[in-house]
Structure 1
C-alpha cells in the first residue's frame, strides 16, 4: 500500500492546484458536460498537481508560473466581461493595439473583476513566498508517488479526451488560450510585415470616364455604432434629428460587419479583401492606393490613435495623413470628432485636386460620455457609466447621445461638401456595433468571442451631391434600388470604385451598392477569430434569432 507523508507543504500543494484551475472551474460551470468537466476540470487539475510536485517546495513552481497567473487573471476579467469562452485572438491584439487612454477608460469601469483577481492571486503569491521560506519540505516519497499518480491520471484523461474527438488545443484551458496567444503573435508579425509583403502590389487602376468638374469623395468610418439605435433605421427615439432632414440620403437597412473587432473590421472596409479571402489583407494594398493609382490625391484624417497594425499601415498609404489628436493633452476633453471638420474644409480648399478623404471617427467607443460635448447630452441621465446591469439606462442614454453627435457630425460633413458645389459623394459605415445589456446574456461592449446581431448589424449611408447625380446619370437610381438588399462590408471597396468610376481587375459590379447589377449577398460571412470565414448565422443564439425575426430575418 502506498503511503503518502502529509505535511503543511502537502496542503499548500493542493491549495495551489485548486487556485490554479479557478478559470477552469468557471468554464466548466458555464457550460457543464461530463466531457467538459474532464477536459477543463480534472485534467488540468492533475497536470497542475504534477507540476507543483516537481520541487520540494511547491511555492517555487507557483512563482515560476507567474506569467501564467497573469494570463489567468486576464481570463477572469474576460469572463467577467463576456460570461464565457477563453481569451480570443482578437482580445490579445486589442490589448496591444488599444491606447493607454482607452484602456484606462475600460479598466476604471470593471473594477469588480480587478478586485476579484487581486483577492484571488495576491494571497496566492504571498502563500507561495511563505512556502518558499519554510524549512519544511515535501517528503521525497510523497513527491515521487504523488507526481506519478497525478501523471498517470492526466495521461488516462488525455486519452479519453482525444478518443472523444476533442481537439485539446482549442477545447482545453489553458491550451486553447495559449493557441490563441500564439495565433495572435503570428498575426501581429504578419501585420508588421505588411509593408514588405505588399510592396510590389498594384491595382492596375484606370478611369475611362471623368466628371466634368472636380470630384471629392469622402469615406467616413464610424466606431461601435449599431443600426438598432439609429432613428433612420427604425429606432423609436430621435437619435438622427439632422440627417432625417437631409434630402437624397440613401439609408441601407440590411448591412452587417464582417467582424466585431476594429482591428479586423476596418482593414476589411479599407481593402478589396473579404472574410472569405482574408489572406489578401497582407498582400494587397488599400483603397487609398487604389485612388492614388487612379489619379486622386488621398488624405486620411483620424481621431483615433495610430498603431503599427494594418489600419496604421493602410492610413500611411495616403498622400497625407492627419492625426487631429497630435498636440492635444492626454485628457479626453477636446478630442471630439467634430475637430476633424475644419481639417476637412482645409484639405478640400487647399488645392484643386480630385480627392479621396477618409475620416476615421471615435464615434461611439466606450467611454460613451467622453465622445460628445455636454450640449449633445440629449438623453439623461447619462451618468454614472459603470459597467453594471443596474446602470443600463444611463449607459444606453449615453450611447444614444453618441449617435446624436454622430448624426450632427455626418450632417456637417454633408453641409461642408454641399457648400462647395462639387461632384461629391459621402459613404458612411460603422466598423461594428455594440452590446448594451440587451438580453438575458447581459453582454456589454464588442469583440465578444461569439458575435451577436447587436455587434454585426450596422448603419451604412450614402449621400450624393446634385452635381454628382447630373455627372453620373443612373447611379442614384441604382443606389435607391439596393437600399434594402442584404450585404456585408465587402461592398465598400466595390461601391467606392463605382462611385468614382474607377476600373480595376479587383472591381466587381455585382458587389457595388451603386450598381444596377448588384446581387444580394447570401450567405454573408464573418471573419472568425482564427481568420476562418464563418457563415453569418453560425454564431446566433435564440436571443439573436428574436431580433432577426423582428427584422423579417433579412
Structure 2
C-alpha cells in the first residue's frame, strides 16, 4: 500500500513536469507541434528528458529536484499559455536576471497570477514531502527508463543527421547542422529549454555587460556637418534571408514587390553582395567598421548607433528576431537608448507587422527631434510559410503550416517551397511600404535604408542546395537586395547625396558599405572617415572587390 502511494505521488510529479509540453501540444502555434506525428515525437522526447533522472536518482531526490525547478516550470506554463510558444531567452532574463519593472511587465496577471504560482509551488512541495525517503524504483525499471531515454535521443539525432546530410556538402557541415537541430529541439522542451535559456541569459548578460564596458570609452568624435532645426528621422531596416533574385523590383517575373515597384523616391542598388552568409557574421559587417580582413573590430568598437548618439540623436532598436542576449545583436542593441523585441519564436506564427505599432510609438516620441532607428525584421527566415499571414498566400500551392521539416525541405516540394518563399517576399514588400508610409507622414528629413543580411538557396540548379550558410556559398546566398528611400524634405536638403546614390546604382556595393553610408547620408562626419566606402559620396570606390567571410572564418575572394 505504501509503495503504491509513493508510486502515485511520483506519477503526479512526472505529469506536473510534462504540463508545459502538454500545453504546447494543445494550444501551441509553434511548428514543433504542427502535426499529429510531431506532437507524438515531441511528447516522447519530453517524457524521455523528464524521466531520465529517475534512472539514477531516488524518487524523493527527484521530487526535490522538481520542487527546485518549479518556478521555471510555472514560468514556462505562463509563456506557453500566453504566447502559444516556448519561452525565449529574453523572457527568462526579464524575470530572473533583470529588474522588477521588466518582470512585472511580463507577468502582469496581478494578484491572481501570483497566488496561483504560490499554491502550485506549495502543492509540489507537499507531494515531495509525503514521499517516503526509502522508496526507490527497481533496477529493472531504472534500466528501462535509461534505455527508453537513450533510444529516443539516438533516434532523434539519427533523424537530424539524415536530414542535414541532404542539405550539406560535407561531413563537418552535416554534423554542425545536426547538432544545431538538436539544440533547437532541446530549447523547446521543458525542462531543458528553460535551463539552457537561463544559462544563455546569465552568460549573455555578462558578455553584453563586458562588451558595453569595453567600448564605452571609445569615441568616434563624430559631429553633424550642419545644424538643421527640422526633424530628422533615419531608419535602417535589416532584412532576413531575402535574396534579390525573387524581388520584382530587380526584374523577377512574379509581382512580389508591387508596393516597392511603385513608391516614389526608392533607389534600388543592382549589384550588392553580402560579406557573409550567416546572420551573426553578416550583421557586424553592416553595423561596425569590421571587414572580413579585420573581423575582430566587431567586438572592439561600438556599432553605428554610437556616432549617431554622439551628435545628439536618440536611438532605438526594434526587433522581431529572437536572438541571444550574448550575441552580437544583444551587444549592439544594448547601445540603443530604447529597445523593444516583439518576437516569440522562429517556428511560431509571429509576423513582422508587430513592428508597425512599435515604430509608430517611436515616431510619436517627442523627447527628441533627431532619431536613428534600427528595425530588424524576421523577413524570409526559414520556415518561409510561417512568415506571412493567410491573406498573403498569393502564390500557390504553398507549404502548409505545421509540416514536418522533411516536407518543408524535400526537393519534391520545390514548387511549394518557392511559392512560400515568394509569399514571404510579398509580405516583406507590404511591411516595408508601411514603414515608408509612416515616415512619409512625419514630413521630416528622413531616409529608410533597407538591406538583407544574406540570401538563400531554393534548389536553383543541379547542386540542389536549399537555405544558406554553406562554406562554399552560391550567388543566391551572396547577392542581396538593398534600396534607399528618401523623403521629399530629405531630397530638398541633401539633393547632392541623392545624385551620388543615383550615380552608383549599378556599381558594386557590399555589406561593409552600410556603416559608412548611413552616417554619410545623415551628414555625420568624424576624423579619418573613409568616404571611399560610402556610396552616397563622390569618393566612393567603385572598383572595390568583395572579400567573403566564410562560416569557417576563412576568406573567399569574389570577382
**Normalised-by-shorter TM-score class:** 0.5 to 0.7
Match of 2:358 in 1: 343
Q: Structure 1 pair 469/360, CA: closer, same or farther in 2 (3 Å)?
A: same
The runs of 5 or more residues in structure 1 that have no matched partner are 1-66, 104-186, 538-554
Instruction: Answer yes or no: is the 8 Å Cα contact 2:164–2:178 preserved in 1.
Output: no
Match of 1:430 in 2: 452
1:322 partner SS: strand
1:280-330 CA distances to partner (integer Å, 9 max, x unpaired)?
0111110112211121100000001131111111111100010113xx699
Return structure 1 stretches of 4+ with deviation > 4 angstroms.
67-77, 88-103, 187-193, 328-331
Match of 2:164 in 1: 78
Structure 1 residue 472, shift from structure 2 partner: 1.5
Instruction: Answer yes or no: is the 8 Å Cα contact 1:225–1:459 preserved in 2.
Output: yes
Separation of aligned partners in 2, 1:406 and 1:249: 15
Instruction: Answer yes or no: is the 8 Å Cα contact 1:487–1:521 preserved in 2.
Output: no
Separation of aligned partners in 2, 1:226 and 1:500: 27
1:73-97 CA distances to partner (integer Å, 9 max, x unpaired)?
8665532221324138986996699
1:463 partner SS: strand
Match of 1:219 in 2: 236
1:432 partner SS: coil
1:535 and 2:557 aligned = yes
Match of 2:337 in 1: 319
Q: Structure 1 pair 216/387, CA: closer, same or farther in 2 (3 Å)?
A: same
TM-score by length of 1: 0.65
Instruction: Answer yes or no: is the 8 Å Cα contact 2:392–2:426 preserved in 1.
Output: yes
Instruction: Answer yes or no: is the 8 Å Cα contact 1:278–1:531 preserved in 2.
Output: no
Separation of aligned partners in 1, 2:183 and 2:373: 24
2:252 to 230, 235, 247: 235
The runs of 5 or more residues in structure 2 that have no matched partner are 1-152, 190-203, 401-406
Structure 1 residue 468, shift from structure 2 partner: 0.6
Match of 2:395 in 1: 379
1:265 and 2:282 aligned = yes
Structure with larger Rg: 1
Separation of aligned partners in 2, 1:99 and 1:281: 30
Moved more, 283-292 or 391-400: 283-292
1:417 and 2:444 aligned = no
Moved more, 267-276 or 526-535: 526-535
Q: Structure 1 pair 221/189, CA: closer, same or farther in 2 (3 Å)?
A: same
TM-score by length of 2: 0.64
Structure 1 residue 533, shift from structure 2 partner: 3.1
Match of 1:396 in 2: 418
1:515 and 2:530 aligned = no
1:498-538 CA distances to partner (integer Å, 9 max, x unpaired)?
1111112363211112112211253211112343432125x
Separation of aligned partners in 2, 1:392 and 1:473: 45
1:202-252 CA distances to partner (integer Å, 9 max, x unpaired)?
222111213340100000000000010010111111011111111121000
Aligned pair count reads 388
2:294 partner SS: helix
Structure 1 residue 401, shift from structure 2 partner: 0.5
Separation of aligned partners in 1, 2:442 and 2:508: 33
Moved more, 392-401 or 192-201: 192-201
